[in-house]
């Protein structure tokens, strides 16, 4: 037998056993009231099992539920003809709810529903659909059919249908959301190692409160259970609220059937059960409404957070784009000014040297005249790329200074290192042999000026612009001396303003 077949056989047998046990508990708890319990668990348990497994297993599992239901009725010594037909009503209620919930469900949702992800009953549309078909219409049709069957077999009137409807509807409203919720990540997380103590504490407090009210109180005190149940919904979510409703339903059913507690003592069992069902229906409705509101709020918060993240990402992207030169795709003048000021202040604090290189493309006007402005832009991009490859340290920055001029910021770099790097940039660009037919050498060359200063060493407190002005004077000297060379500025003192080299 294949592993898949063994798994299915085990699941089929487990479904039969679980449905039989829950049906027997329901029939036993309703003994003396026409086998009508306060809450009918079996149909909701079968519904959850079917929805949490592949659609291909739907009908075999429903058949297993039918067999389990019939077995429980036989154990209770019900007539065989009633067993066959009434079990069919119960199983038909589950099948109707399954078809209604899975109708038009997308394949990906069906696949994910194996883990409860596709059956989020905190979603407004799914919750309303589940209530309409699973909680109301399905139990109503099943109980009506049971009333007709009992009328034909034993002469019972249609009030039987009224007795069957509340427990079936409550079972669907309480148990199905709980079991489906337990398969969801959010509900399973309640039993994670770091949360299980808190979950069990809250459920334990609710159980103690329920026992105290049902064991000694009177009916008006039932309203005291609403605050702790709502507290569970707020603290533990809709799954926690469903767990709390199950705790209240189990304890309340046991005390009510035993004739104790918060419902009218001495009243017929049917009346006590009806009053308990009314209370549980109100509690479940409150849990669903609060869970729905909290689910909407959580989804709104998630959407808001996602929108905020997108907005922040867009803002960061916009800021990054705003600091990039569109032509050369390196930092622009705005970014250069930011980095230069920041490195200047860092050099002051760290008492280190800061070097700046200004680089100008030689004879660039004639290059544009010879090849056109589009080719000129491509030439600038290529020079920026070549120079960027020479820079090795993450803190070094190359930026477009303006026109055909570039600036290179070298933090914590002394004069010798700056001169060596400037020469390497100049030589690398020359060796790239970018064609320039309008100059004697027939290739593009660059001239560089270098300025280095340690701001705090002399205490003069010059502004960072003085460093740029010194580098600019050195660049003018390089161009005046024949171009394709590196010149150094020896201090930051102002001299005759540099005239633009032709």
What's the whole-model pTM score? Answer: 0.51
pLDDT (0 to 100) of residue 301: 87
Q: Are 370 and 381 in contact (CB under 8 A)?
A: no
Superfamily of segment(s) 333-488: Reverse transcriptase/Diguanylate cyclase domain (3.30.70.270)
**Poorest-pLDDT segment among 59-68, 190-199, 403-412:** 190-199
Number of C-alpha atoms within 13 angstroms, CB side, residue 303?
A: 6
| Higher pLDDT, residue 119 or 239 | 239
The whole-chain average pLDDT of the chain stands at: 82
Question: Nearest 5 degrees, angle CA 346-CA 348-CA 349?
Answer: 65
Question: What share of the chain has pLDDT > 90, as a percent?
Answer: 33
Per the listing, tokens 């700056």 go with 418
**Alpha-helical runs (H) found in 258-268:** none
CA 417/CA 368 separation, integer angstroms: 33
**Alpha-helical runs (H) found in 183-220:** 185-188, 196-216
Element at 108 (helix H, strand E): helix 107-112
Q: Is the pLDDT of residue 63 over 70?
A: yes
The packing angle between helices 3-29 and 58-75, to 10°, is 40
Average pLDDT for 278-301? 78
CA 154/CA 147 separation, integer angstroms: 10
**Poorest-pLDDT segment among 271-280, 290-299, 327-336, 347-356:** 271-280
Q: Are 146 and 161 in contact (CB under 8 A)?
A: yes
CA 12/CA 60 separation, integer angstroms: 7
pLDDT (0 to 100) of residue 108: 44
The segment with the largest mean pLDDT, out of 105-109, 165-169, 342-346, 424-428, is 424-428
pLDDT (0 to 100) of residue 106: 53
Annotate 417-426 with b (16+ C-beta within 10 A) or e (fewer).
ebbebbeebb
Is residue 82 exposed (0-12), middle (13-18) or buried (19+ Cβ within 10 Å)?
middle
pLDDT (0 to 100) of residue 111: 44
Reading the block at residue 475, the tokens are 């660049």
CA 61/CA 45 separation, integer angstroms: 11
Q: Are 97 and 138 in contact (CB under 8 A)?
A: yes
Strands 486-488 and 405-411: unpaired
Q: Is the pLDDT of residue 502 over 70?
A: no
Average pLDDT for 130-150? 87
Strands 354-361 and 405-411: antiparallel
CA 121/CA 126 separation, integer angstroms: 6
The DSSP annotation for 357-421 comes to EEEEETTHHHHHHHH-HHHHHHHHHHHHHHHHHH--STT-EEEEEETTEEEEEEET--HHHHHHH
pLDDT (0 to 100) of residue 411: 94
Q: List all residues 6 or more positions away from 160 whose beta carbon is below 8 Å from its beta carbon.
A: 34, 143, 146, 147, 150, 151
Average pLDDT for 51-65? 88
Please name which of 14, 124, 105 lies closest in space to residue 51, comparing C-alpha atoms: 105
Q: List all residues 6 or more positions away from 140 whose beta carbon is below 8 Å from its beta carbon.
A: 165, 169
CA 434/CA 382 separation, integer angstroms: 9
**Poorest-pLDDT segment among 48-62, 258-272, 304-318, 413-427:** 258-272
Work out the end-to-end distance of the chain between its first and last CA atoms, rounded to an integer number of angstroms.
91
pLDDT (0 to 100) of residue 187: 74
pLDDT (0 to 100) of residue 384: 95
Reading the block at residue 128, the tokens are 């309303």
Q: Is the pLDDT of residue 398 over 90?
A: yes
Is residue 324 exposed (0-12), middle (13-18) or buried (19+ Cβ within 10 Å)?
middle
The segment with the largest mean pLDDT, out of 125-139, 256-270, 279-293, is 125-139
Please name which of 293, 114, 4 lies closest in space to residue 105, comparing C-alpha atoms: 114
pLDDT (0 to 100) of residue 266: 61
């Amino acid at each position: 037998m294949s592993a898949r077949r063994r798994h299915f056989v085990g699941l089929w047998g487990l479904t039969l056993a679980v449905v039989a046990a829950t049906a027997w508990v329901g029939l036993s708890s309703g003994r003396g009231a026409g086998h009508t319990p306060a809450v009918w668990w079996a149909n909701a348990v079968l519904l959850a099992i079917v929805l949490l497994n592949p659609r291909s297993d739907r009908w075999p599992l429903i058949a297993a539920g039918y067999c389990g239901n019939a077995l429980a009725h036989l154990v209770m010594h019900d007539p065989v003809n009633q067993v066959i037909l009434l079990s069919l009503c119960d199983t038909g209620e589950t099948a109707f709810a399954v078809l209604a919930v899975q109708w038009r469900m997308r394949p990906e949702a069906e696949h994910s529903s194996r883990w409860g992800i596709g059956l989020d009953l905190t979603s407004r549309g799914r919750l309303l659909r589940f209530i309409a078909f699973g909680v109301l219409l399905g139990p109503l049709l099943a109980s009506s059919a049971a009333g007709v069957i009992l009328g034909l077999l034993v002469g019972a009137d249609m009030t039987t249908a009224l007795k069957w409807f509340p427990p079936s509807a409550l079972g669907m409203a309480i148990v199905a959301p709980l079991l489906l919720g337990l398969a969801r990540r959010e509900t399973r997380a309640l039993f994670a190692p770091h949360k299980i103590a808190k979950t069990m504490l809250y459920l334990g407090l609710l159980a103690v409160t329920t026992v105290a009210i049902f064991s000694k109180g009177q009916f008006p005190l039932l309203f005291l259970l609403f605050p702790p149940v709502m507290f569970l919904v707020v603290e533990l979510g809709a799954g926690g609220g469903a767990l709390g409703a199950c705790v209240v339903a189990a304890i309340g059913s046991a005390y009510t059937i035993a004739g104790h507690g918060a419902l009218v003592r001495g009243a017929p069992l049917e009346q006590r059960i009806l009053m308990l069902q009314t209370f549980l229906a109100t509690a479940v409705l409150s849990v669903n409404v609060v869970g729905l509101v909290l689910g909407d709020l959580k989804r709104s918060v998630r959407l808001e957070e996602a929108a905020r993240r997108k907005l922040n990402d867009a803002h960061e992207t916009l800021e990054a784009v705003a600091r990039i030169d569109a032509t050369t795709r390196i930092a622009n003048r705005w970014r250069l000014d930011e980095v230069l000021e920041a490195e200047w202040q860092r050099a002051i604090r760290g008492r280190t040297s800061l070097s700046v290189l200004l680089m100008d493309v030689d004879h660039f006007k004639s290059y544009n005249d010879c090849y056109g402005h589009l080719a000129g832009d491509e030439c600038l991009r290529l020079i920026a790329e070549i120079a960027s490859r020479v820079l090795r340290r993450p803190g070094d920055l190359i930026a477009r200074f303006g026109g055909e001029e570039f600036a290179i910021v070298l933090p914590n770099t002394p004069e010798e290192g700056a001169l060596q790097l400037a020469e390497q940039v100049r030589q690398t660009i020359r060796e790239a042999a970018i064609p320039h037919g309008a100059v004697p050498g027939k290739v593009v060359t660059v001239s560089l000026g270098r300025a280095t200063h340690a701001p705090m060493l002399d205490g003069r407190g010059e502004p960072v612009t003085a460093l740029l002005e010194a580098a600019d004077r050195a660049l003018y000297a390089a161009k005046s001396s024949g171009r394709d060379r590196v010149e150094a500025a020896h201090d930051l003192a102002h001299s005759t303003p540099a005239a633009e080299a032709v």
